[in-house]
Structure 1
Amino acid sequence: MEVGLMTNRRRSRGGSSKQSTLSQIRQNFSAVNLDRRWLVAAPAALVLAGLAGFNSFVHVSKSAGACPVLHPAFCATQALQAPVIADFGRDNVLNDKGQAMRLARAAINLVPLNPAAVRNIALASGGSTDPRNAQPIRLLRLSHKLSRRDGVTESLLIDDAAKRADMAAALEHFDALLRSMPVASARYMEHMGLALADPKFRKGMIPYANRDNPWFGRLGGAILSNTPPIRFYGQFLSEVPSLPDTVQQRLHYDQVVSRLAQEGEYAIVRKLYPRLPGADRAAVTSMALPSAKQTPYRPVTWWLQSDGAIGAELSRTGKAEMVAYAEAGTSGTVASKLLFLAPGQYRLGWKATNDNGEESPSDGSRDARRDKSRDGLSWLIDCPGLQRREIGAAPAERPGSQNRELAVTFTVPAGCTVQNVALQTRVDSSGSSSQWTVSDISVRPVAAAKP
């Protein structure tokens, strides 16, 4: 409304005044072009937009009490604002509010529906920092109605919404900013990953987790590319009723599950995995090898590893078999899988064939199973959440057992909520390269004996 009244007043001055105004616009046109930080979103404006958003997160957090994220860069708003103030005040033109107002008004006379000019009038009239001055916020909201593509406007409205603890409005303006300024959104998203620690923020983010949102995929990529833990992001994904499903998103979810497991966030893995597109819910308690159509979400599904000298892969014959191989002088884990079994006794069964036609030197005795220096193929079962406590071990091949079912019994103790089953190979440096085929892998509870 203010802009409309201002424009009408200027038009009522008559033709000579209008001619004078146009002359002034032409004279200042080069200044307008040079001073793009006021009329378009450019370097200083991008910095302002990015860091103003960090401040909004803190306002949202403080609305519920202390900042919930123990991260200095997230909670120390003054440290974040200082470089913005210094950078934004380097140019004397930017400090001259009168000249800024004149340029903005001239721009509106030239193009009345100019959101950047309306935003600049708001900044020149006091910005959004003075709660007693409502005019800047009204102008910023008008700029937002004219266009959702002005990053500075959106960042200032984010800050205003956060001060009012209006989570929905803050996220609406975040959505507009991230859609229109993808280049400036990377640092935003790193801190959004931390803001997801707030359950209210996670709940507010759920409507934006859809395949039509152009920045949702970038958010996950930005969070994964940084070093902070991703447990908050994992919690958020586990709370989304229907996750976006594309080929790229499935690859991303695989990376998320793997990263969560590496960081020891097994409870989140257990909650998230069944909700992932294409997930086989039986995999959490099954050792079956994956089918060609199964989406791999490692290590809940089989994680096959290879470095050229040692590794494992699914059989290329189309059969449900796994081929493990190792060159002389190598050892290590070639395949692994997580299980989420309840406490109790279980039986791991399998079939193994030495494709070289050789039999393992192991005699299958208890002492041989405990001998970690033996050559050949072996199983190791432990509890990652109990400092890798070993609960089962056995050679995967035994004399005279070519293609016969083998088994080992193990007990899951209380407190062992997740189990890691690893297939390992070892070939002495004096030996020769070896290859094995493993099939019919299964796990089932051992029935308790009747009294």
Structure 2
Amino acid sequence: MAKRRATRPRRSATEWGVRGALAIAVAGLGYVSVAHSLAYMMRGTAPARAHALAPWDGRITALLSEQLSGPDATPADRKRADELALLALRQDPTAVPAVATLGINAQVRGDTAAARRIFAYSEKLSRRDLRTRLWAIEDAVGRGDIPGALRNYDIALRTSRIAPDLLFPVLASAISDIEIRQALIATLARRPAWSEQFLSFVASTGPDARATANLFEAVRRRSIALPIGAAPALVGRLLAEEHVDDAWRFYAALTPGADRRVARDPGFTANLTSPTPFDWTPVTDSGVSATIQRGEQGGIFDFAVPSNLGGAILRQTQLLPPGSYAIEGRGIGIEQADNALPYWTLTCPDGRELGRVTVPNSAQANGRFAGRFTVPAGCPVQQLLLVARPSEQLSGLSGQIDDIRLRPVGR
């Protein structure tokens, strides 16, 4: 008996129509989803294209209004920006960049009262909008409200990743003003998250090194630790800019008991992670090994210099007044020909040597050395240097210094 073929029921025109409509709807939703994803990805770099892909998204519309209200915007740009900002707020009432656009454009048109009302609303929505904070800083400065300006600096620096690049140079320039500096010290005393980064920035790149020294001394009096490397960077800048007395005053504030008439840390016991120019600083160029280490009875300076190399291997900046000075100390483990023995020298800024005192072989006089330097007038800053001379030994020059004293004769 023959099998009967199963037949599919015929679909009505209505059913086909429904299916087609659903397919179109699915395709449309897929397009919208893809378009919105693409728009959101490019909203930061190309807000106009993002807005064209997703004109219904209030956040993207707000970003386009922000782009059109920049410092180089034309009156036509600002009019269009206002229209987009209002549209963005209809699409998303929490679109803070749109509020900021309206505020900035009001300020540009000279309507400060409207700008203040608009930015007050922006701050109620969010404290994280950078343009709102920048406007608030300018507004506070214009009214002479230094605490208000610093409050907005603080908020901006805590809430925006790019704020330090914009605000640190401005804040660093402002510390020359005593009133601003005092208010900033009070802000830093609260230890905001950005304080260490700012102190490092101003130490190396602030435009007024002396004002920075005053700031650093004040924050230390508030028991605020300076970032590692900040003090050495500032002392180096003060010396390079020939603010010698300011450099010493700042260093002395950091180093109780420091005396500019003598070399500091004769026994290498300070164990500093980041020395200033007024501290012992090993020089490690060209494969030279030079380190300050803990010894059995204090510290030692340990050095190893490859054969046929020479040059300074240890330095300390001095501010010795004119006069005669005695130098003495001891070397350990040094064994060289007479013409390859290391020596101490004191130099002036123009490179003049004020004498040489050789470090003998350690088998001679137990390695002890002594000598004198005479500092003339016109040589306000000196470098005390331990200099290695080229050695013909295959192992080069090596040894240690465990004591070095430089002081006025008769002291």
Tell me the TM-score normalized by structure 2.
0.71
Give the letter aligned to residue 336 of structure 1: R
* Paired position in structure 1 for 2:258: 282
Task: Please say if 1:85 is aligned against 2:71.
Answer: yes
Corresponding position of 2:61: 35
> For residues 399 and 300 of structure 1, do their structure 2 counterparts lie closer, same or farther at Cα, with a shift above 3 Å needed?
closer
Q: Which amino acid aligns with 1:242?
A: R
| Match in the other structure for 1:403 | 366
> 1:182-238 CA deviation, whole Å, 9 max, x = no partner?
224224323433343444443332223347221122224445676978565345324
Shift of 1:90: 11
Structure 2 partner of 1:22: none
Aligned partners of 2:252 and 2:362: how far apart in 1?
40
Count matched residues: 354
Shift of 1:154: 0.8
1:162 corresponding residue in structure 2: 141
State the partner residue of 1:245: 225
Amino acid at match of 1:119: A
The amino acid of 1:376's aligned partner reads L
Do the aligned residues in 2 keep the contact of 1:224 with 1:256 (CA within 8 Å)? yes
Which AA in structure 1 matches 2:306? E
Secondary structure of the structure 1 residue equivalent to 2:122? helix
Q: Cα deviations across residues 319-371 of structure 1 (Å, max 9, x unaligned)?
A: 42212222211111111112333443321211123433x4x52xxxxxxxxxx
SS at match of 1:185: helix
Tell me, yes or no, if structure 1 residue 174 matches structure 2 residue 159.
no
Rounded Cα–Cα distance in structure 2 between residues aligned with 1:399 and 1:96: 81
Q: Give yes or no for contact 2:59–2:92 (8 Å, CA) kept in 1.
A: no
Q: Does 1:186 align with 2:178?
A: no
Aligned to 1:205: 184
Q: Deviations over 1:10-68 (max 9, x none)?
A: xxxxxxxxxxxxxxxxxx972413224278xx8x59xx9xxxxxxxxxxxxxxxxxxxx
Hey, what's the Cα distance between the residues in 1 that align with 2:202 and 2:272?
26
The one of 122, 128, 134 equivalent to 2:103 is 122
The answer to whether the 8 Å contact 2:136/2:152 transfers is yes
Q: What's the secondary structure of 1:447's corresponding residue?
A: coil
Q: 2: CA distance between counterparts of 1:211 and 1:262?
A: 32
1:301 aligns with 2:264: no
Task: For 2:319 and 2:183, locate their aligned partners in 1 and report how far apart those are by CA, in whole Å.
Answer: 31
CA distance in 2, matches of 1:434, 1:306: 14
CA distance in 2, matches of 1:215, 1:244: 13
- Cα separation, partners in 2 of 1:280 and 1:441, compared to 1, 3 Å: farther
Cα distance between partner residues in 1 of 2:293 and 2:392: 26
What is the distance in 2 between the residues matched to 1:102 and 1:343? 76
Question: Does residue 104 of structure 1 match 2:80?
Answer: no
Give a deviation string over 1:255-276, Cα, whole Å, max 9, x none.
4434544555433321222344
Query: 1:378 and 2:354 equivalent?
Result: no
* Structural RMSD (CA): 3.7
Q: 1:123 to 1:316 in 2, by over 3 A?
A: closer
Distance 1:141 1:395 in 2: 73
Would you say 1:218 and 2:197 are equivalent positions? yes
Letter in 1 for 2:71: I
Larger Rg: 2
Corresponding residue number in structure 2 for 1:338: 317
Equivalent position of 2:27 in the other structure: none
* Greater relative contact order (Cα < 8 A, sep 6+): 1
Change (3 A) 1:332 1:312: same
TM-score w.r.t. the length of structure 1 is 0.66
Matched, 1:95 2:80: yes
Is contact 1:350–1:440 with CA below 8 Å preserved after alignment? Answer: yes
> Residue in 2 aligned with 1:270?
248
> Which residue does 1:66 correspond to in 2?
none
Q: CA deviation at 1:174?
A: 1.6
1:136 partner amino acid: A
In the aligned structure 2, how far is the partner of 1:144 from the partner of 1:275?
Answer: 42
Q: Structure 1 pair 281/214, CA: closer, same or farther in 2 (3 Å)?
A: farther
Task: Deviation per CA, 1:358-406: give whole Å up to 9, x if none.
Answer: 4x52xxxxxxxxxxxx53211111233xx34433432222697342532
Q: Secondary structure at the match of 1:306?
A: coil
Point out where structure 2 has 5 or more consecutive residues left out of the alignment: 1-53
